[in-house]
């Protein structure tokens, strides 16, 4: 199974927006962009919402049938490990092997020394096509990289072989994820991570490194965009070099775990992949959930009251809701509106504060981030929330499609 050049990860917390999401992909195709949809949902999200991975496959299949989609599509077991993968095996054909927690834990010394011995030929001044500077690499650099990442890649190999034993070789797509480590990987580190992936015989089609800057949930990139573009281009060059050197899959590409809405780096990503003739996988998640809440607010009446209640409860439970996402949010409580104020908002006022339009003075990234991590509140509403989604499917669906097409897919792929 081969992943196409351009693919786009779409998360849907409550499994109600599959058709609206796919409609954005369909409309992009009319505009000349061939983008493959990949529905993704993590084990953590399933636990919070009380769903099973089979529901993601059901949603994807239903959307494809409803719109008559004839292109490829996939279901991603997002951020799984050996302890969590089994529930995903039957429904998924894309597996994001998250081994970031193993980074920094050293493999046995003998394995480290064996790795260094096999790759010491790269302990030199290395010129990689597409990178303006030469990379100065010492044997100690290779040793340090092996100590930091070799065990993590070995764990990825164990997860891959576990899935392979259940599904069969070439019947799924593999991504190796290192995006939740403490520091971004350098091009040299990425090179030797890819060498280790090849050693493990993992046919990785996407690799998700940690990039420079902050990728906070649901809001724009925070960091030096120029530096990001430089690093992204260098990573693409390293991948092309590693494919040749280590016999990795020829369609191996970068995967960007965006946390949704990293609009300021979409231009640099688009320029880079076209410059290098590369592919890219961009993964989003909570942006659709946020459009659901905005749609409820704009629907008015009881739906607006529900959106206001979601915020009020999230505000009261901020510490609990933020804890699992502490590394990827920056919320200043002083910048959050008082729930009593929000109770007086119209649907338009609520939507203006929530929807990601930085040109609008009312847009509030702190408010948006809190709602982003507050989907547990909606999950606890149970059938009432799902009934509201059904009752206002038209307005919500329009927002979901518009958001994905205009703000994400067009800047990246059209």
Element containing residue 97 per DSSP (H, E)? strand 94-98
Strand 74-80 to 125-126 pairing: unpaired
What's the per-residue H, E or C state across 214-249? ECCCCCCCECCHHHHHHHHHHHHHHHHHHHHHHCCC
pLDDT in tens for each of the 414 residues of the chain?
999 999 999 999 999 999 999 999 999 999 999 999 999 999 999 999 999 999 999 999 999 999 999 999 999 999 999 999 999 999 999 999 999 999 999 999 999 999 999 999 999 999 999 999 999 999 999 999 999 999 999 999 999 999 999 999 999 999 999 988 889 999 999 999 999 999 999 999 999 999 999 999 999 999 999 999 999 999 999 999 999 999 999 999 999 999 999 999 999 999 999 999 999 999 998 899 999 999 999 999 999 999 999 999 999 999 999 999 998 999 999 999 999 999 999 999 999 999 999 999 999 999 999 999 999 999 999 999 999 999 999 999 999 999 999 999 999 999
- The predicted model scores a pTM of 0.96
The alpha carbon of residue 123 and the mean position of all alpha carbons in its chain are separated, in whole angstroms, by 33
For residue 297, give every residue at least 6 positions away whose Cβ sits within 8 Å of its Cβ, in sequence order, or none: 303, 304, 307, 308, 345, 347, 350, 351, 354
CB 349 within 8 A of CB 367: no
Q: What structural domains and CATH numbers belong to the chain?
A: 6-108+145-286+408-413 (3.20.20.70), 290-381 (no CATH)
């Amino acid at each position: 199974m081969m992943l196409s050049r351009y693919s786009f990860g779409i998360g849907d917390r409550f499994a109600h927006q599959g058709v609206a999401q796919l409609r954005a992909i369909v409309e992009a195709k009319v505009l000349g962009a061939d983008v493959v949809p990949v529905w993704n949902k993590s084990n953590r999200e399933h636990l919070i919402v009380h769903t099973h991975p089979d529901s993601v496959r059901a949603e994807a299949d239903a959307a494809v049938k409803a719109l008559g989609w004839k292109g490829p599509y996939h279901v991603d077991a997002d951020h799984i490990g050996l302890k969590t993968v089994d529930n995903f095996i039957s429904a998924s054909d894309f597996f994001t092997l998250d081994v970031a927690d193993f980074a920094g834990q050293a493999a046995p010394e003998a394995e480290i020394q064996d790795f260094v011995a096999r790759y010491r030929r790269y302990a030199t001044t290395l010129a990689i096509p597409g990178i303006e500077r030469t990379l100065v690499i010492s044997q100690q650099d290779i040793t340090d990289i092996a100590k930091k990442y070799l065990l993590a890649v070995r764990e990825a190999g164990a997860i891959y072989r576990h899935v392979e034993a259940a599904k069969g070789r070439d019947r799924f797509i593999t991504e190796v994820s290192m995006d939740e480590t403490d520091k971004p990987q350098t091009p040299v580190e990425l090179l030797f991570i890819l060498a280790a992936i090849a050693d493990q015989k993992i046919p990785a089609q996407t690799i998700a490194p940690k990039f420079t800057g902050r990728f906070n949930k649901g809001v724009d990139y925070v960091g030096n965009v120029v530096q990001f573009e430089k690093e992204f281009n260098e990573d693409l060059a390293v991948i092309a070099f590693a494919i040749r050197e280590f016999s990795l899959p020829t369609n191996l590409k970068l995967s960007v775990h965006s946390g949704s809405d990293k609009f300021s780096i979409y231009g640099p990503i688009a320029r880079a992949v076209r410059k290098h003739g590369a592919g890219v996988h961009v993964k989003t998640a909570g942006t659709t959930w946020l459009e659901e809440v905005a749609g409820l607010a704009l629907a008015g009446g009881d739906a607006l009251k529900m959106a206001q209640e979601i915020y009020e409860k999230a505000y009261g439970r901020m510490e609990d809701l933020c804890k699992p996402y502490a590394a990827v949010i920056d919320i200043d409580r002083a910048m959050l509106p008082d729930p009593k104020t929000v109770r007086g908002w119209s649907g338009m006022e609520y939507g203006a504060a929530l929807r990601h339009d930085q040109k609008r003075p009312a847009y509030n990234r702190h408010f948006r981030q809190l709602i982003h991590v507050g989907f547990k509140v909606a999950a606890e509403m149970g059938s009432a929330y799902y009934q509201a989604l059904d009752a206002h499917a038209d307005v919500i669906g329009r927002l979901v499609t518009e958001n994905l097409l205009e703000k994400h897919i067009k800047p990246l792929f059209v």
